[in-house]
A and B are shown apart, each in its own frame.
Chain A
């Protein structure tokens, strides 16, 4: 009996180690999956604000991710527009104190301006 002890113990240890390896692999897979889920949480859509102030768009260049929302708030006394030169978006008149928002659904670099004041220019980069 005693002679079989180590043998039995060895026989028992193999399935245990295999099971442990499966558990470890499964755990790592879970860890990686959780990481991936975490990444998705970090990349959830955000809202960015551009101030229209002193006849400027501030910041002059804004970089956002696909799905983000951009809000332009007119802090000037006079009306403005947010008009893409490539015609992807057009706010119409934004009066003093009002805002206009746009969901950036397509990657690209958009140069926009104010149709009322053509020397007001800015850039939106969607990546």
Chain B
């Protein structure tokens, strides 16, 4: 039951991120519907501008959320495969954040907090609070489920919002360059999810 709650929070959090992008940051207008257990998205109807400063804040917030969740997993999991995955999340997202901060510093861009970045941070806090109450396989399953959903949504945000709206060529190049690592993380999480589902508790 706790796992289900976590999953619902994950989806809600993810939807809130996209909603914030379409409403708060006025990035684009997209409608999302939940049909049974599937999230169905219609194509963006209109695309408005998100500034480079806002994109920088979204990138930093997105990475920070996964670093903190990964650190929690490092301290709680007893599963070596889940621990390795959490190690990779902390290592990679820290490296990406460093590259992003180095670039915006060089460009003289100050990250500008916005509804999307704030939503990412607050939903990450809620997810970690829920995860703290779990242990053993229940924790592992909830953590990995959340990582699958998180990376799916971040990749979608990169494709639909961040890359199309980035004005500075170097910022756009950074987003394009970082995308394959997020795809690899998603594949890794999906394999772990299948593996955990196949194991007896």
Q: Are A77 and B188 in contact (CB under 8 A)?
A: no
A2-10, A15-23, A58-66, A113-121: which lies at the interface: A113-121
In the complex, which residue of chain A has the Cβ closest to the Cβ of B181? A78
B96 at the interface (CB under 8 A from A): yes
Question: In the complex the two chains form, what is the Cα distance from A54 to B87 in whole Å?
Answer: 20
A118 neighbours in B (Cβ, 8 Å) = 188
B2 neighbours in A (Cβ, 8 Å) = none
In the complex, which residue of chain A has the Cβ closest to the Cβ of B179? A54
A77 neighbours in B (Cβ, 8 Å) = 95-96, 99, 174, 177-178, 181
Question: What does DSSP make chain B's interface, helix, strand, loop or mixed?
Answer: helix
Given A116-B88, A117-B88, also A79-B95 (CB < 8 A): yes
Total CB contacts across the A-B interface at under 8 A = 41
Query: In chain A between 54 and 93, which residues have their CB closer than 8 angstroms to a CB of chain B?
Result: 54-56, 76-79
Query: In chain B between 48 and 105, which residues have their CB closer than 8 angstroms to a CB of chain A?
Result: 87-88, 91-92, 95-96, 99
Query: In chain B between 98 and 119, which residues have their CB closer than 8 angstroms to a CB of chain A?
Result: 99
A78 neighbours in B (Cβ, 8 Å) = 91-92, 95-96, 181
In the complex, which residue of chain B has the Cβ closest to the Cβ of A78? B92
Interface string of B124-139 (1 = CB under 8 A from A): 0000000000000000
Of B91, B180, B183, most A-chain CB atoms within 10 Å: B180
Binding site for A on B (CB under 8 A): 87-88, 91-92, 95-96, 99, 174, 177-178, 180-181, 183-184, 187-188, 191
30 contacts between A and B (CB under 8 A): A54-B177, A54-B180, A55-B180, A55-B181, A55-B183, A55-B184, A56-B180, A76-B177, A76-B180, A76-B181, A77-B95, A77-B96, A77-B99, A77-B181, A78-B95, A78-B96, A78-B181, A79-B91, A79-B92, A95-B95, A96-B95, A96-B99, A116-B88, A116-B91, A117-B184, A117-B188, A118-B188, A119-B187, A119-B191, A120-B184
